[in-house]
Amino acid sequence: MASKSLPSFSSFSCSTTLSQFLFSFTLFSLLLFCSLSDSHKYVNVTYLPSHFEDLWTKNIPHWKFNASKQISQQAATFHRYLHSLDGDPLRATIVPPDPDENRFPPHIFSYFEYTWASGKKRMVPIEPLVGILRHPKYQGPHHGPGIDKFLEDKSWLLIDPYQAKEEGRNYYYFDFGASLYSSGLGGPSQQMFVELYETANVSFDRIFAFEAEVLNPKQVFNELPQSVLPFYQWYNIPVSANSSDKMDALYFLKSVATTHDFVIIKLDIDNTTVEEGIIYRLLDDPIAMSLIDEIFWEHHVNMPELNPSWFPKKAGIPPPRDKTLENSYHLFRRMREAGIRAHS
């Protein structure tokens, strides 16, 4: 069997040898680049919503004000959904390598299909957009003993586990509405995300924390573990959705990250106007969207199951009439279809 080898300098003229060598070197470099790139960054991503999600997306215009009733009527499907999430509350969010379709059945769980330059594909499940976009056990306050604890439970969110640390790749965490590292109204989000991604062998190179409430810097930094402190940037000033504002959220993102990097964003500043402004601008900005791998956003809308938490009567702020669960479904679906693992 004949074999192919690089040309010999003794066989050709100097010019022929040089051109052959440069061609071979260029080809080798391209193959090497593709091989290295193939290890982590995909070239195409397709969102594949489950039948379960499509059912809710189709009917959410009719179910948006009685979602908890629909959850009860679909108890068998939600029970199967919950069964897949059994396990340690933190590690349950990590999808194992080569996820078992028996654990994450595709008629219930939605999937992202990632394709690499070599043609390799990988299917990674994500929680479906169903119900009230919270932990499936939570259907609103006072729906049974022990149910309220699931209001802030994050164990139902499935992150992408295939993000092992690699040379030359940066790992960024943007927290818009950071509160404190180990405490906050919705729980210790910074600590939770750092520890969650550590279980997937990801440690963040930089954490950008933005908080509007004026806090004591000593308290802020005293809560940080030593391992996080060198990579932590704190901005005690509101983030903005306005492109002309120097605190523009997307400006920070686009100034720091590249498509080669791994980026997560948490957006929860309890200001729906600013949050939606950021999301709508993001959806109109293909460059910004291409930089984000995962986003976690709590969209405050008019929803009977969550109005007591989001718009308590004592606060004197009524729920918005023109923003409902239907709007949330639409925005999260658009982000997912754009290739972002968007979590509620």
**Percentage above 90 pLDDT, the chain:** 57
Average pLDDT of span 35-51: 76
In this prediction, residue 95 carries a pLDDT of: 56
Q: What is the C-alpha separation between 330 and 216, in angstroms, rounded?
A: 39
| Average predicted confidence (pLDDT) for the chain | 83
Question: 195-213, pLDDT tens digit by residue?
Answer: 989 888 899 999 999 999 9
C-alpha to C-alpha distance for 205 and 225, rounded to whole angstroms: 14
Whole-number Cα distances in Å, 106 to 48, 79, 112, 330: 9, 15, 11, 21
pLDDT for residue 59: 98
pTM for the structure as a whole:
0.83
Please state the length of the chain: 344
User: 28 exposed, middle or buried (CB, 10 Å; 0-12, 13-18, 19+)?
Assistant: exposed
Tokens at 33, concatenated: 């680049």
Q: What is the mean pLDDT of residues 77-104?
A: 69
Query: What is the pLDDT averaged over residues 138-148?
Result: 64
Predicted confidence band of residue 166 (pLDDT cuts 50, 70, 90): confident
Q: Is the pLDDT of residue 4 over 50?
A: no
In tens, the pLDDT along 284-328 reads: 999 999 999 999 999 999 898 888 888 877 777 888 888 999 999
pLDDT given for residue 23 in this prediction: 44
- Out of 12-16, 164-168, 305-309, 328-332, pick the least confident: 12-16
Domain ranges for the chain, please list them. Answer: 165-292
The arithmetic mean of pLDDT across residues 252-270, rounded, is 95
